[in-house]
Chain A
Amino acid sequence: MKIRIIVDPDLCIGAASCVTIAPETFALNDENKADVLDHGQAPDGPSYEREVEVTEDEFEKIIMGAQSCPTLAIAIIDEAGNQLYPEA
């Protein structure tokens, strides 16, 4: 399945819970905020937003990473454009 992962850099405070839970998808950048990765890689350079093809297991981890964020800085959107997290 394909999902869009978006980090809001204005909300992100570098608590790094997403990085701990889903290190293949999130990594702290030099600004102490979480970049979005595609399976550990950053094609076309660092970004706060990325569309990623994921397996069921990977999806679970990414959702858990988003849910663990204390400032709700991570949004997950499905292919149809529905926001899966945080619930609107």
Chain B
Amino acid sequence: MKIIIIGGGIAGTTAAEEIRKQDSATQITIIDRENYPCYSRVLLMPYVNDKVEREKMILKKPEWYTQKNIELMSDVEVTKIDSKNKFVETSEGRELPYDKLLITAGLNVRYTPEDKRGVVYFKTLDDADQLKSLIKEAIAQKKNKAVIYGGGFIAMDYLAIFDHYKFDTTVLMRSGGFWSKVLSAHAQQVLKDQTELKGIKIINDVREIELIGETELTGVCALGQEFETSILGVGIGLDPDKAVLSAAGIEVGAGIICDKYLQTNVEDIYAAGDIAEYDDATIGRHIRYGNWTNAIMQGKAVALNMVGEKIGFSMVSSYATNLLGKEIVFIGDVDRTAADEVVQEVADKQNSTELFIRNKKIVGAVIIGDVSKRTEITKRIQNREAVSY
């Protein structure tokens, strides 16, 4: 059997390892658009802050692939999936046949309409290298000012980085606050207070930005105001690569739509990790998570299903980060529009806990500040505990 895995991040690599554990004969090829073996994206921020050496981030050395008899094709993009005749076309002009295909390609960053030197994204090791050089150069030229565009998880990483290097930082948000579609006004206020405490400037409701500078960035203009900076860190969302997927007949929503077995609507094509929008039994609807643990666990599960098992995947996933020392944990399904009700369980100056309720059950939570109830709330979601609010 020939298995092709598109995407060599932690979901795809874990799946390859698990398939190999189950079967020594299957031919496994990982096609990855980046030029590195599997590395830890979670370490990108500590790496930029000089807390982790570059080599330490690489989780699988090239020898590992040889030992496991897994072929890794780096720096190669899949340009077409022919799901009828079962082959993929690559950027090198090759056609590779498969019996089963796994898509663990993650999502693509949303770009700003303009580009100049100094505009960075924060998804890959190359992005981290670029940001690190820009920071070192800015420090050398005593231009320690930075602007962040976006108010989600990536903004937390940028804030940790610019705080570490003592940059004067401004955050331009497209809405009224951090995670404005998810959080209550109280939760947003707790986060805003934290940024104010740390001297971060926040500008809300920025619908568009204009880059200033010839070829190199010297500033960003928003709402008629100019912010001097040589670095703009962008984190305004992620999308699946719709063109390639839809052309293959694969159903795409916020991610690739899968059943509980992580199988897509097209026979012999599966998805896992950040790109999979799967049918989760615990929370009772399709959902997409973009976090490390979810990617590993889905990688393991999809591998077993691809070699013939039939195991429904369900996990109460969580995403932990922090805003300049203030802990933030998202647990389960925190889509406000999909909840019947959102209950603010804790609301004091330093802390916020919100519970997301659907069909009289807790399906998600956001905890900010004191996160000591994380395990307890996760269990309540797992156990589908009925609540009466």
Q: Which residues of A are in contact with B by a Cβ distance under 8 Å?
A: 13-17, 20-21, 27-28, 30, 32, 68, 70-72
Contact = CB atoms under 8 A, between A and B. Distances in A.
Contact of A71 (B10, B43, B315): B43
Contacts, number: 50
Chain B interface size, under 10 / 10 to 19 / 20 to 34 / 35 or more: 20 to 34
A82 to B, nearest CB: 19
B293 A27 contact: no
B89 interface: no
Label chain A's interface by main secondary structure: loop
Interface string B306-319: 00000000010010
A15 B294 CA distance: 10
Contact of A17 (B292, B370, B372, B375): B292
Contacts of B96: none
A75 to B, nearest CB: 13
Given A14-B320, A70-B42, A71-B43, A32 B293 contact: no
Given A13-B320, A14-B374, A20-B315, 13 more contacts: A14-B320, A14-B329, A14-B371, A15-B42, A16-B318, A17-B297, A28-B374, A32-B320, A68-B293, A70-B10, A71-B42, A71-B46, A72-B56
A13 B42 contact: yes
A20 B320 contact: no
A28 B375 contact: yes
B95 interface: no
Contacts of B374: 14, 28, 32
B112 to A, nearest CB: 28
Given A14-B320, A32-B327, A32-B329, A70 B292 contact: yes
In the A-B complex, the 5 residue pairs with the closest CB atoms:
A70-B42, A30-B372, A14-B320, A17-B293, A70-B292
